[in-house]
């Protein structure tokens, strides 16, 4: 009788496992509605539906990557999106986290092609001989600088890049310059109207704002020195990046900088088969991820493993090894 009961239990488990593998119905915490992350969430939903018909991945709005960490840890969302720097802060227990957050694991890199652009008015750069940020630090000009909004990873990266070159925001004011923190759209307006000399922001190559600014004023792309790039890469878990001559709207030269990654993450104790299924869905249906926006056209499975900020979930590792990606 014991053997019969065990056999019945095993059959029951198999049926549950089989039914579970047929549909996935979970949520992913992203950011604001209507932004790129919401489109990526729609792509994830389409990919999972393609692998497991009848499934649904529901995009849940939030205030962004930093907020998604506690939401995922608490179980409010099973999956979350975050910048690599957000996860680096969380895992190390750096501000705004009071202590290291344990149990964070990566599922996939969703994209890593939103590099940090340092853009200067061409006449300003020529006047002070600025080709890289090291030249800015040496010239000490009265630069009117604008970064993205306070509290965002982008503004932290740009400020830290200058600090790696020995330049603080107080220094810029001492030079007779100024620093603003504005959203991307307002940055574009400020540059177009001639109210700033230089900006630092993360943007996709080919982003419309690059062309909008370039139509109004002659611009120049400013490079990040290797030592400054290394400093912020180490601090925020970033990757080096080169904006190629083909992608440089205002020159025929390659320009070095850094780039941020957006990572799909979850808790380490989430069911391995579930995470395997979600990961496999993206591997098998990359077209679903790439189709949601021009900004996602670069999405390919081989890029999904390009991070080392937090360990990968065992279910994701299984899917990558099965696909020959690890």
Higher pLDDT, 100 or 3: 100
Taking only the tens place, the pLDDT of each residue in 247-262 is 999 999 999 999 999 9
Q: In this structure, are residues 320 and 300 in contact, taking their beta carbons and an 8 Å threshold?
A: no
Distance of CA 129 to the CA centre of its chain: 32
pLDDT at residue 264 is higher than 70: yes
Q: Which two tokens stand for residue 323?
A: 């696909």
Q: For residue 168, how many C-alpha atoms fall within 13 Å in the half-sphere facing its CB?
A: 3
pLDDT at residue 33 is higher than 50: yes
Higher pLDDT, 128 or 3: 128
**Predicted local confidence at residue 64, as pLDDT:** 87
Three-state DSSP at 279 gives: helix
**Predicted local confidence at residue 15, as pLDDT:** 32
Residue 20 gets the label, from left (phi > 0), alpha (psi -120 to 50) or beta, of alpha
Q: Which two tokens stand for residue 192?
A: 């177009």
**Predicted local confidence at residue 81, as pLDDT:** 97
Structural domains of the chain ordered from first start: 25-112+262-322 (3.40.190.10), 114-260 (3.40.190.10)
> CA 307, CA 152: separation in Å to the nearest integer?
20
Taking only the tens place, the pLDDT of each residue in 152-207 is 888 999 999 999 999 999 999 999 999 999 988 899 999 999 999 999 999 888 88
> CA 9, CA 317: separation in Å to the nearest integer?
29
DSSP assignment of 139-151 equals H----EEEES-TT
Residues 192, 193, 199, 203, CA torsion sign? negative
Contacts of 156 (CB under 8 A, 6+ apart): 85, 236
**Predicted local confidence at residue 160, as pLDDT:** 96
**Predicted local confidence at residue 280, as pLDDT:** 97
Average pLDDT score, the chain: 91
Taking only the tens place, the pLDDT of each residue in 214-230 is 999 999 999 999 999 99
Taking only the tens place, the pLDDT of each residue in 48-94 is 999 999 999 999 999 889 999 999 999 999 999 999 999 999 999 98
> CA 130, CA 221: separation in Å to the nearest integer?
10
**Predicted local confidence at residue 149, as pLDDT:** 85
Read off the pLDDT band of 11 (50, 70, 90). Answer: very low
Q: For residue 15, how many C-alpha atoms fall within 13 Å in the half-sphere facing its CB?
A: 6
**Predicted local confidence at residue 110, as pLDDT:** 97
> CA 301, CA 107: separation in Å to the nearest integer?
12
Read off the pLDDT band of 322 (50, 70, 90). Answer: very high
Q: In this structure, are residues 108 and 263 in contact, taking their beta carbons and an 8 Å threshold?
A: yes
What do you get for the CA distance between the two ends of the chain, in Å?
A: 45
**Predicted local confidence at residue 237, as pLDDT:** 86
Give the whole-number percent of the chain exceeding pLDDT 90.
79
DSSP assignment of 179-208 equals EEE--HHHHHHHHHTT--SEEEEE--TT-H
Q: Which two tokens stand for residue 228?
A: 């400054």
pLDDT at residue 124 is higher than 60: yes
Name the DSSP class of 249. Answer: T
Beta strand residue intervals within 178-287, DSSP E: 178-181, 198-202, 219-222, 239-243, 255-267
**Predicted local confidence at residue 21, as pLDDT:** 55
> CA 227, CA 161: separation in Å to the nearest integer?
9
pLDDT at residue 13 is higher than 70: no
Mean pLDDT value of segment 32-44? 91
Helices (runs of H) and strands (runs of E) counted in the chain: 14, 10
Give the whole-number percent of the chain exceeding pLDDT 70.
94
Report the b/e string of 220-247 with b at 16+ CB within 10 A.
Answer: bbbbbbeebbebbbebbbbbebebeeeb
> CA 136, CA 131: separation in Å to the nearest integer?
8
């Amino acid at each position: 009788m014991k053997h019969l009961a065990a056999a019945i239990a095993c059959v029951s488990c198999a049926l549950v496992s089989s039914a579970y593998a047929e549909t996935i119905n979970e949520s992913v915490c992203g950011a604001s509605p209507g932004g790129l992350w919401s489109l990526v969430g729609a792509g994830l939903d389409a990919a999972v539906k393609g692998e497991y018909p009848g499934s649904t991945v529901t995009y849940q709005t939030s205030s962004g990557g930093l907020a998604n960490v506690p939401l995922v840890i608490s179980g409010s969302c099973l999956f979350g999106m975050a910048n690599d720097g957000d996860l680096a802060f969380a895992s190390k227990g750096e501000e705004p986290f009071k202590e290291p957050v344990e149990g964070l694991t990566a599922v996939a890199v969703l994209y890593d092609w939103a590099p940090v652009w340092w853009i200067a008015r061409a006449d300003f750069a020529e006047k002070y001989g600025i080709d890289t940020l090291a030249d800015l630090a040496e010239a000490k000009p009265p630069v009117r600088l604008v970064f993205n909004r306070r509290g965002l990873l982008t503004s932290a990266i740009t400020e830290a890049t200058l600090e790696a070159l020995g330049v603080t925001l107080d220094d810029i004011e001492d030079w007779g310059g100024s620093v603003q923190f504005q959203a991307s759209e307002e940055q574009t307006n400020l540059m177009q109207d001639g109210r700033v000399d230089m900006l630092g922001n993360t943007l996709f190559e080919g982003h419309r704002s690059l062309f909008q600014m370039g139509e109004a004023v002659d611009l120049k792309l400013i490079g990040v020195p290797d030592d400054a790039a290394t400093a912020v890469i180490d601090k925020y878990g970033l990757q080096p990046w080169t904006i190629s001559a083909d992608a440089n709207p205002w020159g025929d030269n390659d320009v070095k900088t850094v780039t941020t990654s957006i990572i799909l993450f979850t808790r380490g104790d989430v069911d391995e088969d579930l995470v395997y299924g979600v990961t496999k869905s993206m591997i098998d249906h990359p077209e679903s991820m790439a189709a949601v926006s021009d900004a996602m056209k670069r999405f390919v499975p081989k890029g999904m493993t390009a991070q080392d900020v937090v360990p990968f979930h065992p279910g994701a590792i299984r899917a990558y090894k099965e696909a020959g990606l690890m």
